[in-house]
Amino acid sequence: MRTHTIALALSFATLATAAHSQTAPVLTGQAAFTDYSKEKPGVRRHLTLADLPKPMPESSVTNRPELVPRPEGAWPQAPAGFKVTEYATGDFVMPRLVRPAPNGDIFLADSGGGRDEDNGRVIVLRGVGADGKAAQREVFATNLDHPFGIAFFPADNPKWVYVANTTSVVRFPYKAGDMKASGPAEVVVRELPGYAKLTGGGHWTRDVVFTKDGQHMLISVGSASNVDDSDTHPTEFHRADVLEFTPDGKFEKIYAAGIRNCVGEAINPITGALWCSTNERDGLGDNLVPDYITSVPEDSFFGWPWWYMGGHQDPRHAGKHPELKDKVRTPDVILEPHFASLQMSFYPNINKRDADHAGNDFPVAFAGDAFAAEHGSWNRSKRTGYEVIRVPMKNGKATGEYEDFLTGFVTADGKVWGRPVGVTAANDGALIVTDDGSKTVWRVAYVGKK
């Protein structure tokens, strides 16, 4: 049993586990491929197309995580100058995506359990108490079908909270400060492709964001499979796509295609462009196919299922659709294969913050950068992921690198106690991270020199 002293000491300690990222070397080439034993806060990596091996499906392995209770003394590790605390624990079934309301409340999708159970909910966390935990906690809505994406509309003075279920998008009436829905769910999009209808399962997460001008609603829908040819498998209809609707739910078009599972959507605050954090396919070996984080231009195509990474053909679809090879877009940031990259979000421009939102702001070098949660591998001989990464940006464009930011969720002998899923910046500047392994919401605040 953990003692109060140990927990208190850990939660309020500044964890100095690595040199400042600005001075850390960037690992490139084969050295950039990693596993959990090499993931340390501040380490940067840069993978390119030239680093990718040939497909080796015969070497593919099944190595699912062995989930264990958080061991005595285990704690997420952040770079020097950052403090990690437990923000919320207990009574979560599956804490997943998090998004801040304009007033600072944190809306969390507790996606529920069971393939066909409508026991998902949205929970609201508010403020920080003297103990470092959420000062208030309420259930905003219940009886949802595996909710994941959450969006506020209109952006500046929202009247609605949109929630993306597995097979639909609903919205609840909202005014600033509401911690409980003031009215019933209104169905906006009635039929999204859903895994409950499929024999073989498929990705169930659905994210939802609005374009910067508020004119369009973009919904990401993951594939129904790992490699099925969408020409011959009707279950792949409107999947592995980002779908465009009006805010009232009228289908407009396929916004972008060939994205196997765009789990996390985000609008770049500088450029206004859609970005995605994406799970790529498995079964081609330890170091294929990389997950990625990328801008997603309108009408772009990323290759799934026939191609990957800018014109590499999946050998399981050899000879198919040669006309598409030159149309495959290369992602902006190539991540470790099998990372299971989930939610991503952009850190705000600190210089433009309202004075009321100051407090735990990260150093100015983080302004405009992205963060992403890496849920962790199952298809790699040595585990990788189980961390939060930072994606450096310059003027709204990615440098191509990524950096280990929050690690320590795997024990030295490879057992897993935590799995990051959601990540967002709170209005006070702290980073909020959900972990559906230990069913904890973590808070990462900067306490170093301002």
User: Parallel, antiparallel, or unpaired: how do β-strands 26-28 and 44-46 relate?
Assistant: parallel
Length of the chain: 450
Distance CA 242, CA 233 (A): 18
Structure tokens at 266: 């985000």
State the CATH number of the domain containing residue 360: 2.120.10.30
DSSP of 301-363, one letter per residue?
B--TTTEETTTEEPGGGTTS-GGGGGGBPPPSEEEEET--EEEEEEPP-GGG--GGG-SSPPP
Q: Which residue has the higher pLDDT, 17 or 281?
A: 281
| Residues paired with 420 in a beta bridge | 435
- The amino acid present at 175, given as its one-letter code, is K
Q: In what order do the strands lie in the sheet with 440-446?
A: 82-89, 440-446, 431-435, 420-425
**Whole-number average pLDDT of the chain:** 91
Interval 371-386: pLDDT, tens? 999 999 999 999 999 9
Residue with the two structure tokens 């159970």? 117
Percent of the chain with pLDDT over 90: 86
Position 401 pLDDT exceeds 50? yes
pLDDT of residue 198: 42
Q: How far is CA 312 from CA 158, 292, 295, 333, 368, in A?
A: 43, 15, 20, 16, 31
pTM of the model: 0.93
Domain hosting 38: range is 4-446
Q: How many domains does the chain contain in total?
A: 1
Interval 150-205: pLDDT, tens? 999 999 899 999 999 999 999 999 999 999 999 999 999 998 987 644 445 689 99
DSSP of 353-417, one letter per residue?
--GGG-SSPPPGGGTT-EEEEE---SSSSS----EEEEE-EETTEE-S-EEEEEB--B-TTS-B-
pLDDT of residue 115: 67
pLDDT of residue 122: 98
Distance CA 170, CA 161 (A): 8
* CA 449 to chain centroid: 29
